[in-house]
Amino acid sequence: MSMAAVLLGGQMVAQTAGGSTHADSSVAAGAGSTPWEYGALVQGGVGLEQRTDFSFFMVGGHLGKVLTPQFGTGYLRGNIEYAVEVFPIWQSYTPKFQRISCTGPTTAPTCSAPYTVGGTYTGASITPIMVRWNFTHGRRFMPWVQAAGGVVWTNHKYPAVGDLNPTDPTQTGPAADTSVWNFTPQGGIGMHYFLRPRRSIDFSLNGVHISSASLGDKNPGVNASLQVSVGYTWWK
C-alpha cells in the first residue's frame, strides 16, 4: 500500500470519528457561495433613557443576499450581506395621559375638554437598508454585526406629547403634534445557529432610534430602545 493511500485512509477515519471538516460544516455550506437567505422573526424590546416606560413587539420577515466571497483569515474571516426586513405587525405600548387642545391667545385660550392620548400604537415597519458582516470561521455558529435604516408608520401620531397646561402653546394644540411616519436608524449584533446545512435559528440584539426628523410639529421620538429578535432562516 502506498504512503498516499495510508494518509488518505487516516484522514477519512479522522473525519468519521471527529465529525466533518470546516469545508463540510453547516456554516461553510452557505459561506462557500453567495446564497440567498429568507426567514421569519419575532422582535420585542423596551425603551431606554427617558422612554423606559415604552415597550415594543413586532412580527415579520427577513430577506438577504450574500454579496461577496469570504475575506480575511481566522476568526475575522467573513462576507458581506445586504438584507431587507419587513414587519407588517408593529406595536408600541406607551403610557396613557390626558391632553387638551387650545386655540387663541395664551392669556385667554379656548380649550377642548381633556382627552386621552398614548396607549398602544399599531403600524408597519420596513428596513430597506441593512448591511451585515457575517463571521464565517465556525462550523455551526455564524455571528454577525450590522447597521441598518428603516421607516415605521403608525395608526396615530407617534409618540404622544402634550399636557394639561393651556398657557404653554408648545404643549397643546397643533404644536403638540408629532408624525405617523418615523425613521428607524439602528445597529446590532446577532448570530445564526445552524441546525443542519441551510437551516438556522437566529438571535439578535439591536439598538433602535426612532425619530420623525421633524416631519411633525414636534420630534420627541425614542432616542434609544433595546430590541431582541428570534427567527428561523432558510438558505438557498
Task: Tell me the CA distances in angstroms from 61 to 73, 125, 168, 187, one per residue in order.
Answer: 32, 11, 44, 18
Would you state the cell numbers that stand for residue 61, as one nine-digit string?
420577515
Q: Would you say residue 85 lies in a domain?
A: yes
Is a pLDDT exceeding 50 seen at residue 25? Answer: yes
DSSP code at position 170: T
Cα 87 from Cα 122, distance rounded (Å): 11
Give the residue numbers spanning the domain of 44. 35-91+121-153+181-223
Q: Which residue has the higher pLDDT, 42 or 169?
A: 42
Structure confidence at residue 81 as a pLDDT band (50, 70, 90): very high
* Cβ contact 16:8 at 8 Å: no
Specify the amino acid at residue 17: A
Q: Is 80 exceeded by the pLDDT of residue 173? A: no
More confident residue, 125 or 50: 125
CATH number of domain containing 128:
2.40.160
Average pLDDT score over the chain: 85
The DSSP annotation for 77-114 comes to -EEEEEEEEEEEEEEEEEEEEEE--EES-TTS-EEPPP
pLDDT(215) > 90: no
pLDDT at 92: 97
Residue 205: phi, psi to the nearest 5? -130, 120
pTM score, whole prediction: 0.82
Is residue 233 a contact partner of residue 38, using CB atoms and an 8 Å limit? Answer: yes
Are 178 and 157 in contact, with CB atoms under 8 Å apart?
A: yes
How many other C-beta atoms lie within 10 A of the C-beta of residue 190? Answer: 20
* In a domain? residue 84: yes
Give me 235's grid cell. Answer: 438558505
| 24 domain residue, yes or no | no
Q: 197 in a domain, yes or no?
A: yes
Q: Domain for residue 211, yes or no?
A: yes
Question: Count of domains in the chain?
Answer: 1
Average pLDDT over residues 179-185: 95
Of all residues in the chain, the percent with pLDDT exceeding 70 is 82
